[in-house]
């Protein structure tokens, strides 16, 4: 019998797509079948389609993302009698995998209701629940997830096989009779999970097993509990994330409509919100004006908050990553007992395995930006811009910090999850596992390997070795070109769209001239760039030590500005003479134009953690917080032959500090840096050399600087990061698209 074959591509597995198609076909009286295969969803329909194909994209399930609906003729060997869901076919992966999704309203109502899933911590359906964190292989079927050991009971099987049920073919389906279980563990003794609230109310710390790993939880309103957690984790100042119901969040933060939308998104990220209303202990986020909040995103979290709030407090909980300092998040029960015993007074455990560790994603609503791309957002893909339809398969390995991997295949870019800093041995192991994991999961066979230009990055060495071992083409990509290209591809900038002026401000990246770049205005496209303006380079005294000790950066900037006496007064106990000798002789003091180190220098001049910062970016974050809403007119940098010299700024800063106007000094720095680069970029657009301006690099995580730059740019077209990180977490995306743009003869 003559019929039609319909191929649906996109995020269409693990989202209830097959039952949706089944119901759609039945409603229209169509016969045939639907199945999952490596390319997505395949539908075969006997007879005329009517409006069936058009309805597929228009009425798709809430978690689905339909990229294409392709219709072709098909001949049935026998006439089908009805429409069926049939078994998955084929091996290999051409489709995307669905990210994990927060508990949907229907499941939440069920947990709070009186049915058989009352208070069940693993309630889910096709509209919510674990996906990527439990998946071991494609196609997405229960047998290939960490739910495989839990055989469905008769009641769950009936729901699973009932097309009218929202759990129809929901692979993680479970109930108390057949699914995973949860318990509290104290001093090796198993106790009822309901006792967790008592531990928290007593000021204790609980290790909580979530979707992508363990968190450490404590009462966020209890300064002694927060201080205890900081002492045990040896984490003196880095901000803690918080979890609470929306009513609790509103007590401590002002939540806009856009911010609430982000909080309630199925990806359930941590959302940065400004402090407002009641105050939490300053130790939650020392020196910061924003806090990172998330809603409970699993039934276990909802039940945890219920038990915690059983006394009517409704207070939020600190929910910080459960790991040793610098190591990746713990995911296994035995691993948690071994590594977190020194931190936690109790463990809230369950017996469902976590297939891969995923940190919480971090986002901001104004200006909108993804700061960390992880749980709930990966492994979502981005379509490649116009002109990349025939792009080869590429793997890109990112940088040394905030490491992430990117794959290009079938016109899509898959930017992997945040891994961390590759200097740490266990993070390096996680990087290698992620490389093998993504390749196997997505049946990826690259033709090209892209790496950072820096030869000593572990990710670069890994890529070089793989390219040599497998005889693949190697493309080495300059760090800031990758930042620019990543911003361009996220904004769907066409391959032949013309050149873009890229303001790229970050910490460190090796330039082709052998110096360390970090404050650049580039002009170029996917194929190449030229450097048009840059911050005046100064020595990084002590190399890597300059990243952690802001006084070193302040010393060289003040000396360069003729303010050595002020430097001597500011840092009397620092080894200034030795530092100056090292800078003069170039001993472990490479020249750098880093905007990140300029932030550190200004912060040190204003008394912000001058001798040492306890985590990367601490000085810059505190400097932004200090600026607050203070206003100042921009002070021009000296511009000569492309070089932007901030020396005049430091003279103005000295005057403001003497007048005890630190907030105005911090604001002056932000507006002046923004204006200096924006003026140069606007000139490139005005001359016709550039068609738009792109803003990238980790420094643009600073909301105040981003707003000031946008204001200074006026009405020129601007490309921004919204769905991928501006920091090095997005670096691999830029590397990958640059490698894809290289012709065979380049």
| Domain positions in the chain | 1-169, 182-362, 380-491+726-741, 534-672
- pLDDT for 445 equals 95
Is there a contact between 678 and 641 (Cβ–Cβ < 8 Å)? no
Does residue 384 register a pLDDT over 70? Answer: yes
H-helix segments, 571-617: 576-585, 595-605
Look up residue 76 and give its DSSP letter.
Answer: -
First-to-final CA distance of the chain: 52
H-helix segments, 511-571: 545-548, 550-560, 564-570
Could you give the CA distance from residue 495 to residue 738 in angstroms, rounded to a whole number?
10
Selecting among 18, 96, 131, 352, the annotated active-site residue is: 18
Closest to 705 in 3D by CA, of 717, 695, 715: 695
What mean pLDDT is predicted for residues 570-586? 96
User: In CATH, what is the architecture of 1-169?
Assistant: Alpha-Beta Complex (3.90)
402-430 pLDDT per residue, tens: 999 999 998 999 999 999 999 988 899 98
Backbone φ, ψ for residue 185 (5° rounding): -125, 120
Please tell me the least confidently modeled range out of 106-120, 173-187, 317-331.
317-331
What is the pLDDT confidence band of residue 567, given thresholds at 50, 70 and 90? very high
Round the average pLDDT of the chain to a whole number and report it: 94
Could you give the CA distance from residue 303 to residue 159 in angstroms, rounded to a whole number?
24
Element (H, E) at 440: helix 425-441
What's the CATH code, domain 182-362?
Answer: 3.90.870.30
Backbone φ, ψ for residue 270 (5° rounding): -75, 130
Q: Using alpha carbons only, what angle is made at residue 364 by residues 358 and 368, rounded to the nearest 5 degrees?
A: 115
Does residue 485 register a pLDDT over 80? Answer: yes
Look up residue 359 and give its DSSP letter.
Answer: P
641 catalytic residue (yes or no): no
Does residue 93 register a pLDDT over 70? Answer: no
What is the pLDDT confidence band of residue 727, given thresholds at 50, 70 and 90? very high
Could you give the CA distance from residue 366 to residue 261 in angstroms, rounded to a whole number?
12
Could you give the CA distance from residue 493 to residue 692 in angstroms, rounded to a whole number?
10
What mean pLDDT is predicted for residues 75-84? 90
Does residue 84 register a pLDDT over 70? Answer: yes
Closest to 254 in 3D by CA, of 293, 283, 312: 293
Could you give the CA distance from residue 202 to residue 200 in angstroms, rounded to a whole number?
5
Could you give the CA distance from residue 237 to residue 452 in angstroms, rounded to a whole number?
31
380-491+726-741 maps to CATH 3.30.420.360: yes
The pair of structure tokens assigned to 700 is 């643009």
The pair of structure tokens assigned to 111 is 């947990």
Selecting among 23, 28, 36, 545, the annotated active-site residue is: 36
534-672 maps to CATH 2.60.120.340: no
Please tell me the least confidently modeled range out of 163-177, 207-221, 240-254.
163-177
Conformation bin of residue 607: beta by default, left when phi > 0, alpha when psi is -120 to 50: left
The pair of structure tokens assigned to 294 is 């998330």
Look up residue 530 and give its DSSP letter.
Answer: E
Does residue 95 register a pLDDT over 70? Answer: no
Is there a contact between 664 and 656 (Cβ–Cβ < 8 Å)? yes
CA–CA distances in Å: residue 329 to residues 119, 135, 196, 430, 475: 27, 18, 21, 10, 32
Is there a contact between 186 and 346 (Cβ–Cβ < 8 Å)? yes
Residues 6+ apart with CB under 8 A from 688: none
18 catalytic residue (yes or no): yes
What is the pLDDT confidence band of residue 617, given thresholds at 50, 70 and 90? very high
What percentage of residues in the chain have a pLDDT greater than 90? 87
Does residue 745 register a pLDDT over 90? Answer: no
CA–CA distances in Å: residue 643 to residues 503, 515, 522, 706: 14, 14, 13, 21
Could you give the CA distance from residue 9 to residue 493 in angstroms, rounded to a whole number?
23
Number of H helices, E strands in the chain: 23, 31
495-543 pLDDT per residue, tens: 999 999 999 999 999 999 999 999 999 999 999 999 999 999 999 999 9
Could you give the CA distance from residue 160 to residue 686 in angstroms, rounded to a whole number?
61
Is it true that 1-169 and 182-362 share their CATH fold? yes
- Sole residue written with tokens 């019998």: 1
Closest to 373 in 3D by CA, of 382, 254, 477, 710: 382
């Amino acid at each position: 019998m003559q019929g039609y074959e319909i191929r649906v591509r996109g995020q269409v597995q693990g989202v209830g797509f097959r039952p949706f198609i089944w119901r759609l076909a039945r409603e229209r009286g169509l016969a045939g079948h639907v199945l999952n295969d490596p390319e997505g969803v395949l539908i075969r329909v006997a007879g005329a389609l009517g409006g069936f194909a058009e309805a597929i994209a228009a009425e798709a399930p809430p978690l689905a993302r339909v990229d294409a609906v392709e219709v072709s003729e098909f001949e049935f060997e026998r006439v089908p009698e009805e429409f069926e869901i049939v078994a998955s076919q084929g091996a290999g992966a051409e489709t995307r995998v669905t990210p994990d999704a927060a508990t949907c309203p229907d499941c939440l109502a069920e947990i709070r209701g009186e049915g058989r899933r009352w208070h069940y911590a693993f309630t889910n359906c096709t509209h919510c629940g674990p996906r990527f964190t439990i998946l071991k292989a494609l196609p997405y079927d229960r047998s290939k997830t960490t739910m495989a050991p839990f055989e469905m009971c008769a009641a769950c099987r009936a729901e699973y096989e009932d097309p009218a049920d929202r759990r129809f073919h929901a692979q993680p389906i479970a109930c108390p009779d057949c699914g995973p279980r949860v318990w509290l563990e104290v001093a090796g003794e198993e106790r009822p999970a309901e006792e967790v609230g008592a531990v928290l109310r007593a000021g204790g710390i609980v290790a909580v097993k979530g979707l992508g790993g363990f968190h450490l939880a404590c009462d966020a309103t209890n300064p002694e509990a927060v201080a205890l957690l900081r002492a045990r984790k040896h984490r003196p100042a880095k901000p803690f994330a918080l979890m609470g119901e929306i009513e609790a969040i509103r007590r401590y933060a002002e939540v806009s409509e856009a911010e609430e939308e982000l909080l309630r998104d199925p990806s359930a990220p941590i959302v940065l919100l400004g402090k407002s209303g009641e105050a939490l202990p300053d130790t939650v986020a020392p020196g910061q004006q924003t806090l990172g909040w998330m809603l409970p995103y699993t039934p276990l979290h909802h039940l945890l908050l219920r038990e915690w709030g059983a006394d009517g407090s409704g207070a939020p909980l600190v929910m910080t990553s459960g790991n040793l300092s610098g190591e990746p998040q713990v995911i296994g029960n035995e691993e948690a007992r071994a590594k977190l015993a020194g931190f936690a007074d109790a463990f809230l455990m369950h017996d469902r395995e976590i297939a891969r560790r995923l940190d919480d994603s971090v986002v901001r609503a104004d200006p909108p930006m993804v700061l960390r791309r992880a749980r709930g957002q990966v492994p979502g893909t981005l379509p490649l811009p116009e002109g990349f339809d025939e792009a080869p398969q590429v793997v890109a390995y990112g940088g040394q910090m905030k490491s992430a991997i990117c794959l290009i295949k079938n016109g899509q870019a898959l930017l992997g999850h945040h891994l961390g800093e590759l200097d740490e041995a266990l993070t390096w192991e996680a990087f290698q596992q992620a490389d093998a994991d993504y390749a196997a999961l997505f049946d990826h066979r690259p033709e090209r390997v892209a790496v950072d230009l820096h030869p000593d990055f572990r990710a670069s060495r890994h890529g070089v070795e793989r390219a040599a071992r497998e005889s693949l083409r190697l493309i080495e990509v300059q760090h800031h070109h990758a930042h620019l290209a990543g911003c361009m591809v996220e904004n769907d900038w066409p391959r032949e769209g013309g050149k873009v002026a890229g303001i790229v401000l970050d910490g460190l990246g090796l330039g082709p001239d052998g110096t360390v770049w970090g404050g650049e205005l580039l002009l170029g496209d996917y194929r190449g760039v030229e450097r048009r303006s840059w911050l005046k380079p100064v020595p990084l005294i002590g190399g890597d030590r300059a990243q952690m000790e802001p006084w070193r950066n302040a010393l060289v900037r003040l000396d360069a500005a003729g303010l050595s006496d002020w430097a001597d007064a500011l840092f009397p106990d620092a080894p200034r003479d030795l530092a100056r000798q090292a800078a003069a002789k170039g001993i472990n003091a490479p020249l750098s134009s880093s905007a990140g180190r300029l932030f550190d220098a200004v912060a040190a001049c204003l008394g912000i953690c001058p001798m040492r910062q306890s985590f990367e970016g601490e000085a810059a974050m505190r400097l932004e917080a200090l600026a607050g809403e203070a206003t100042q007119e921009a002070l021009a940098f000296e511009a000569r032959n492309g070089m932007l010299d901030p020396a005049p700024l430091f003279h103005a800063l000295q005057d403001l500090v003497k007048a005890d106007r630190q907030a105005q000094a911090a604001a002056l720095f932000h507006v002046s840096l923004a204006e200096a680069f924006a003026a140069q970029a606007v000139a490139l657009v005005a001359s016709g050399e550039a068609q738009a301006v792109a803003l990238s690099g980790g420094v643009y995580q600073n909301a105040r600087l981003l707003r000031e730059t946008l204001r200074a740019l006026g009405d020129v077209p601007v490309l921004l990061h919204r769905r991928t990180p501006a920091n090095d977490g997005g670096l691999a995306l830029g590397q990958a698209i640059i490698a894809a743009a290289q012709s065979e003869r380049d």
